[in-house]
Structure 1
Amino acid sequence: MAIAVNSETLSPTTLTAAAIVGLVVLQVARKFFKPRSPLEAIPSVGIPDYPFGFYVGSWNYIKHGRAITEEGFHKYPGKAFKVALANRWLVLVNGRSLIDDIRKAPDDFLSISEATNSLLHLEHTMGHEQHHDPYQIAVIRTPMTRNIGVCFPDIRNEVVAAFEDLVPAKTDEWISVPAMQTILQIVSRASNRFFIGLKCRDPDYIKITTQYALNVASDAVWLHVTPSILRPIAAHLFGHLETATRAAMKHLGPILQHRVEMDDKYGQDWPNGDRPNDMISWLLDDARGHPRRRTVRTLTRTLLNINFGALHTTTQATILHLSPRLLGFLHALYNLAANLEYVEPLREEIKSVIQSEGWTKTAMGKMVKLDSFLKESSRFVPGGAVGVMRQVIKDFTFSDGTMVPTGTLIAIPVLAEHYDEANYVHGDQFDPFRFSRMREQAGEGIKHQMITPSPDFLSFGVGRHACPGRFFAVNEQKLIMAHVILTYDFKLKDGIRPEDEWIALVGSANSTAEVMFRKRT
């Protein structure tokens, strides 16, 4: 029998109490009867076991990200665990089997581009083109890589000129230079000589490109904690993208307009064969039939983004263009300046190879000890505590049965993998000729090169999405380091290797340290 209740007979206090009880029951029901997320089956690390523990854990991760990541790696070997970011979970997987799952996963399940966008907010920091049509990746992977050898004399010329301008050391006295600022300018000039020719020497253009690379990372940080609905407005008001684009167009606009007009008129066959063999030409070749890619604005933005990749890959030996990471080349320079006993073996190898091969790309390939030194520096501090990030596009199940739902951000604890005794004997020790010794073993001569990604060397990523610019980056690092070793004596200003700088899972080579140089006779 139904019971009729007349609400008019109930007092306001009774109605209020009933409403409160109803809300409590609803919340309890949601808590205990909502669908269980697969993420709940993945153990958490660094999360206190009390209300609001996730938010406390995310703050802890900002302060102690490296230590928390290493704790999870050792607590859950060969498995998955999760840590708290500011507004989401990050699932970390380790061990050969799970790393191989990431390597083999199709893009429609695990996406590197969506992971990059989630962390860098590409629409606001690098532009619509970088997010939706990053066609320069194919250009970097093929025509740029093929032309490293042909263009090597120009790159070498620019490295020499840049050092003469920025490190004007004499034979009878030491000078001190700020390491980070100096190396950024040298790399910018060498890279842009390859990209756009002698315009690379314009101080204002160098400032624009280097500052752009730094601003992409810094803008991404504050956009990450900005509510999504406010990001477009905040980026427009406080972001760097439009300002940098307009500034770069003042320098590149006339050059690009001329190149587009000549390309429209002559294609690849300019009169007298005068078409420059540079990044602008390769971009125009790839953009043929795509009018939107051939505008001055789009080409300018694309060149800025290529510079971002070149600076972050060459100076940092990084794996994915994310927030600021350890300046890999600076680490190598600091490591060598702090361990001068390794200079002479490297110098002897470089001198011998240059005498037989000259300053060529072929020579760079034969500098086995130098390759080992740079690779070990990158292994020892690979760009941060984690890397090889992917975002789950469709629910994904790893080979051990671990399931991660759509929208999850996943990564590998790269630093812990690089230190793991299962991968490297005495992995927590810096051993500069570790890889050159490996290559001396029978059948190993072409293995263990810095350009070769593997499950135990993840500084450039893994699989088909390994950094496409790594061939240029490695050759450029070798060229710069070989020039330093043959041209200068050098040492740390204070005689002590500068401390690394860490924020959460991101690290950086010391940004304020100075290195002293003296010209060799």
Structure 2
Amino acid sequence: MVLRLWQKSKNNSALNLPPGPWKLPLIGSLHHLFGSVLPHTRLRDLANEYGPIMHLQLGQVTNIVLSSPETAKAVLKTHDHIFTQRPFVLAAETMTYNFTNLANAPYGGYWRQIRKICTLEMLSAKRVRSFGLIREEEVSKFIRDLSSSTSAGSTVNFSRMFSSVTYNIIQRVAIGKISKGEDTVFPAIRKLIEAFVGFNLSDAYPSIKLLHKISTKRFKLERAHKEADKILQNIIDEHRARKASAANSEEEEDLVDILLNAQCQEDLQITDDNIKAIILDVFSGGNDPSANTVLWAMSELIRNPEVMKKAQTEVRQVFSEKGYVEEESIGELYYLKAVVKETLRLHPPGTFLARECMEDCVINGYDISVKSIFVINTWALGRHPDYWPEAERFNPDRFLNCSIDYKGNNFEFLPFGAGRRMCPGILFGISNVQFPLARLLYHFDWKLPNGMQPEDLDMNEKSGPCSDKAK
């Protein structure tokens, strides 16, 4: 181990690397990330000291941290062709069935094919619109449940209640109705995701296989994966049996049906494990980001009553004649859309974008070796003071009459990434945010409890790949 680390250090010393914090033997700069400060906040602070392109040696792995729109553009646009790969993470190998999901599959023919299927059959504008009835039914049920609880004077866990809404929407779109074990799907997937997230020491020392073999995280992940795998296989088997018997042939196909159809195509070999990997991808990538964005938006609105008033007035004026919120008219809610953008600026679904360098190159005059990991701090980009006046202030007005959007062309605002590996589910995710948010503002008046001040509202984040609200 010492010999390998020495060789790595020797190789790096010959390169013109970006500046970075001081290193210790064996662990490199790992110690700079220890403590209670969240990783994206700590990396922003280090970037303020060492610059927008920073070298961070974590064990054996060379990391290049980018914290400005210019450096992000260099990787995600100018040199995008050599940064199409996601980093190899040992835990992801288990969770993604050997990197066969959409998010982690190696860039190539298989990835392009499954992205095409998922985009056309689930994530295109036409398909997202077709899911409108599902959204309407699930959000209406949530509104009724919330109304009943508040009328009875009960305390509700808003985040937990709304998380079930986004989950139910995704379940109906991805796996449809299942006859057995429906209540076990969400807990099993949640347990697997919780086992996956978090720091794994073996990722900092990938050549030392023993670390992965003895990792307690690995054992926990494999147990959770085995449980989820059994449930997902039952879902696939039920769909296959239903398809063979031609039962419910009039029902609209869900994603599992579509992927089973793809199994019959000679030009694309999709196994059951591949289907399970894609299903997990849809749940993990679609549920928490949408639910978290609505939770953050409501928190920011309650904390800023003047903004709340403007958003609520707009929703109620647009739908005053109809008497209900209609998804087809959400496009008329310009201020609400600005609220969503401002929420995504301050609280992006993912705090980092990670890419692996596929060949030796030069970025901003610095030598970058193959296999280096680029970490783009999207949280820091959204709060960059050179691009966002009063960057820490929640101010949706900044997006009114403004061309900045989240489609990957404005590198100071990358909540969904950019380039070839940009999130393909933007329309699906945004629809699952804007419609329920409009309903919440239309049906309820919101304010802080008596005696509570805006600054008393807990706006802290939890540590993790998503900017989850702590409370």
Report the TM-score, using the length of structure 1 for normalisation. Answer: 0.74
The aligned counterpart of 1:402 is 366
Are residue 55 (structure 1) and residue 27 (structure 2) matched? yes
Q: Give the CA deviation at 1:376.
A: 0.7
Contact 1:124 1:232 (8 Å CA) reproduced: no
Secondary structure of residue in 1 paired with 2:131: helix
Counterpart residue number, 2:333: 367
Where do residues 305-344 of structure 1 align in structure 2 (5 Å cutoff)?
305-315=281-291, 327-344=292-309
**Distance in 1 between the 2:279 and 2:236 partners?**
12
Q: For the Cα contact (< 8 Å) 1:332–1:374, is it kept in 2?
A: yes
**% identical equivalent positions:** 15
Give the match for residue 470 of structure 1. 426
- Name whichever of 341-350 and 239-248 sits farther off: 341-350
Deviation at 1:105, TM superposition (A): 5.1
Letter in 2 for 1:276: E
8 Å contact 1:387–1:414 — kept in the other structure? yes
Question: Are residues 449 and 408 of structure 1, via their aligned partners in 2, closer, same or farther at CA, if it must alter by over 3 Å?
Answer: closer
1:180–1:229 CA distance, 2 compared to 1 (3 A): farther
Aligned: 1:238 with 2:220: yes
Q: 1:228 aligns with which of 206, 209, 214?
A: 209
Letter in 1 for 2:244: E
Relative distance call for 1:85 and 1:359 in structure 2 (3 A) is: farther
Question: Which residue of 2 is the match for residue 203 of structure 1?
Answer: 183
Evaluate the alpha carbon distance shift between residue 198 and residue 334 of structure 1 in structure 2; reply closer, same or farther with a 3 A threshold.
Answer: farther
Counterpart residue number, 1:489: 445
How far did residue 149 of structure 1 move? 0.8
2:73 is the alignment partner of 1:100: yes
Query: Which residue of 2 is the match for residue 430 of structure 1?
Result: 394
Confirm whether residue 150 of structure 1 aligns to residue 114 of structure 2: no
Stretch deviating more after TM superposition (101-110 or 303-312): 101-110
Map 1:122-521 → 2, pairs under 5 A: 122-128=92-98, 129-130=100-101, 131-132=104-105, 133=110, 136-144=114-122, 145=124, 146-165=126-145, 167=146, 169-170=148-149, 172-199=151-178, 202-218=182-198, 221=200, 224=203, 227-229=208-210, 231=212, 237-239=219-221, 240-250=224-234, 252-261=235-244, 274-289=250-265, 296=272, 298-315=274-291, 327-354=292-319, 359=325, 361-383=327-349, 387-398=352-363, 400-435=364-399, 437-439=400-402, 447-450=403-406, 453-491=409-447, 496-503=456-463, 508-511=467-470, 513=471
Q: 1:294 to 1:82 in 2, by over 3 A?
A: closer
After alignment, is 482-491 or 153-162 more displaced?
Answer: 482-491
Distance 1:342 1:413, change over 3 A: same
Aligned counterpart, 1:89? 62
Change (3 A) 1:243 1:87: farther
CA distance in 2, matches of 1:56, 1:401: 23
Asked if the contact 1:314/1:329 (under 8 Å) is kept, the reply is yes
Tell whether the 8 Å contact from 1:102 to 1:110 is kept in structure 2 after alignment: yes
- TM norm structure 2: 0.81
Please list every run of 5 or more consecutive structure 1 residues that lacks an aligned counterpart in the other structure: 1-26, 316-326, 440-446, 514-521
Question: Residue type matched to 2:284 in 1?
Answer: F
Are the structure 2 counterparts of residues 108 and 433 from structure 1 closer, same or farther at C-alpha, using a change threshold of 3 Å? closer
Q: Which moved more, 1:98-107 or 1:480-489?
A: 98-107
Q: Distance in 2 between matches of 1:330 and 1:86?
A: 36
2:361 touches 2:367 (CA, 8 Å); kept in 1? yes
Partners of 1:94 and 1:412 within 8 A in 2: yes
Task: Quote how far apart the aligned CAs of 1:473 are.
Answer: 0.4
Could you say which residue in structure 2 is the equivalent of 1:8? Answer: none
Deviation at 1:422, TM superposition (A): 2.5
Query: Structure 1 34/185 Cα, relative in aligned 2: closer, same or farther at 3 Å?
Result: closer
Following superposition, the deviation at residue 431 of structure 1 comes to: 0.7
Aligned to 1:518: none
Quick check: 1:392–1:408 contact (8 Å CA) kept in 2?
yes
SS in 2 for 1:411: strand
The answer on whether the counterparts of 2:28 and 2:59 sit within 8 Å (CA) in structure 1 is: no
Q: Check 1:408–1:258 CA distance in 2 against 1; reply closer, same or farther (3 A cut).
A: same
Cα contact 1:93–1:412 (8 A) shared by 2: yes
* Cα pair distance change 1:308/1:412, threshold 3 Å: same
TM-superposed deviation, 1:186: 1.8
| Distance 1:501-1:86 versus aligned 2 partners, 3 A rule | farther
Letter in 1 for 2:240: Q
**C-alpha deviation, 1:334, in angstroms:** 1.4
The alignment covers a number of residue pairs equal to 444
The one-letter code sitting in structure 2 at the alignment partner of 1:337 is I
123-132 vs 494-503, which deviates more? 494-503
Alignment check: 8 A CA contact 2:349 2:416 kept: no
> Are the counterparts in 2 of residues 383 and 507 from structure 1 also a CA contact under 8 Å?
yes
Report the CA distance shift for 1:287/1:366 in structure 2 as closer, same or farther (over 3 A).
farther
- Displacement, 1:390? 0.8
- 1:32-53 CA deviation, whole Å, 9 max, x = no partner? x9555465532113x26xx53x
C-alpha distance after superposition, 1:258-292 (max 9, x if no partner): 35536xx8xxxx99x71514323433454441598
1:364 counterpart letter in structure 2: I
1:74 to 43, 48, 51: 48
Within-5 A mapping of 1:37-56: 37=13, 41-45=17-21, 47=22, 52=25, 55=27
**CA–CA separation in structure 2 for the residues paired with 1:288 and 1:178:** 45
